[in-house]
Amino acid sequence: MSDTSIDDTALATRTGFGARVGRLVVGGLVATVGTVVVTTLAAAAMEALGADFRVEGGEVIPVSGIGFQAGVWSLVGVVIAAALLRWSGRPADHFLRTAVVLTALSLVPPVLWGSGTDTVVGLVVLHLVAAAVMVPALTRLLRRVSGPS
């Protein structure tokens, strides 16, 4: 007769990882909602102060579009964090470095395509606002769920 018992250690490891990813994803979704709210409010305040978010070609980015993009890219951050949790020995450290580089790169398009100083400054500030909410939240979550290094 063959042995069909389940390896308890392997099951516990998988379950433990699944629980850690679950906590990361739930926390990441909460942070994403927070990022969208804060970024949208900041964009609305800037718009009320006269920023028009007009990019090259005359197209205006609506405040809702700014909030939507903040949400999409925040979710990309959650996916990156989950991948690092799975495949990195030090996921929080690697995530922080990756997020800083990606945030710096995200500042290039507003500078290249913003049609006025107020648009460029406004979009750069909004990128930094979104990063200021999302990056620390995911870094803390990764430290919490990855356990001792």
Spell out the domain ranges in the chain. Answer: 26-146
**Stretch 48-55: mean pLDDT:** 90
- Residue 22 confidence (pLDDT): 95
Which pTM does this prediction carry? 0.86
Q: Give the pLDDT confidence score for residue 8 in this predicted structure.
A: 43
| pLDDT at residue 3 in the model | 53
pLDDT of residue 55: 86
8 Å CB contact between 113 and 55: yes
> Does the structure show a pLDDT above 60 at 40?
yes
Q: DSSP 3-state assignment of 38?
A: helix
pLDDT reported for residue 149 = 47
Q: Is residue 41 helix, strand or coil?
A: helix
| Cβ partners under 8 Å of residue 58, min gap 6 | 115
One-letter amino acid for residue 94 of the chain: H
Contact present, 143 and 56 (Cβ < 8 Å): no
Spell out the residues 6+ positions from residue 26 whose beta carbon is closer than 8 angstroms to its own.
none
Q: Please tell me the number of Cα atoms within 13 Å of 125 on its side-chain side.
A: 17
User: For the segment 56-92, what is each residue's pLDDT rounded down to a tens digit?
Assistant: 888 999 999 999 999 999 999 999 999 999 999 999 9
Quick: pLDDT tens for 95-148.
Answer: 999 999 999 999 999 999 888 888 999 999 999 999 999 999 999 999 999 976
